[in-house]
Structure 1
């Protein structure tokens, strides 16, 4: 079982989360099934703009999620992706996490946001969702 971290967008708002069952979690955020985060319940039509896939453990995914959420003054969908691009240049998500380049992650990003994600060290693929 692998885990992933995702960035969702609704209008100018963004949300970062992690899961091992993205379709279920996505449906929860969009109120199709019970559950989901309190933050996403206030808005409609969430869709993914970035998925970081391939974490072997929940702890590794949580470390990435925590780091992407702590984006400082880079808010909104484009700010989150810009922050992710900066973080991918570092060795680790946190002091205790394994090396990022050894985690075997694949990054899927919406074509609208690919301009913000500049990195040659990771597999980056287009995210087809809309």
Structure 2
């Protein structure tokens, strides 16, 4: 299984996909080697997750979702765009599967619930 995640620190945000979020988060925060250059050179050790879209059976669909969400900049715009896509679009890309058929679960920190409309959310609890 794969997931797409949105992490932030200060006013910067990053979107990625993985099949091992804890390992990937540690890489972004320089606890483990690896990670995206963008996150490892920008305010190390302070990236926190604010939204996770879980349940992608194949890597390709997770990559399609990640690609689509990267169109927006800024964590708040990206949160709002997640809501927009899940409420208004049938697919992440024209060749992708129907979003509703993917049976995805969206986890979000409670602070961001107000930006989601008509979506079933699960609380994302995170302790650094």
TM-score (norm 1): 0.92
Q: Distance in 2 between matches of 1:91 and 1:119?
A: 15
Contact 1:88 1:119 in 2 (8 A): no
Over 3 Å off, 4+ runs: none
Which sections of structure 2, spanning at least 5 residues, go unmatched?
none
Of 120, 124, 129, which aligns to 2:121? 124
Residues 34-45 of structure 1 mapped to structure 2, 5 A cutoff: 34-41=33-40, 42-44=42-44, 45=46
The reply on whether 1:55 has 2:27 as its aligned counterpart is no
Tell me the distance in 2 between the aligned counterparts of 1:56 and 1:39: 27
Match of 2:104? 105
Q: 1:8 is matched with which residue? A: 7
Q: What secondary structure does 1:39 align onto?
A: helix
- CA shift for structure 1 position 119: 2.6
Aligned pair count reads 124
CA offsets 1:45-103 (integer angstroms, 9 cap, x no match): 001000000000000100000011112xxx32111100111111210000011000000
Q: Distance in 2 between matches of 1:15 and 1:43?
A: 12
Question: Superposition pairs for residues 76-95 of structure 1, below 5 Å?
Answer: 76-89=74-87, 90-95=89-94
Contact 1:4 1:61 in 2 (8 A): yes
Helix, strand or coil at the partner of 1:7: strand
Normalised by the size of structure 2, how large is the TM-score? 0.93
Q: What is the rounded CA distance, in whole Å, between the counterparts of 1:17 and 1:28 in structure 2?
A: 12
What secondary structure does 1:5 align onto? strand
CA distance in 1, matches of 2:76, 2:18: 22
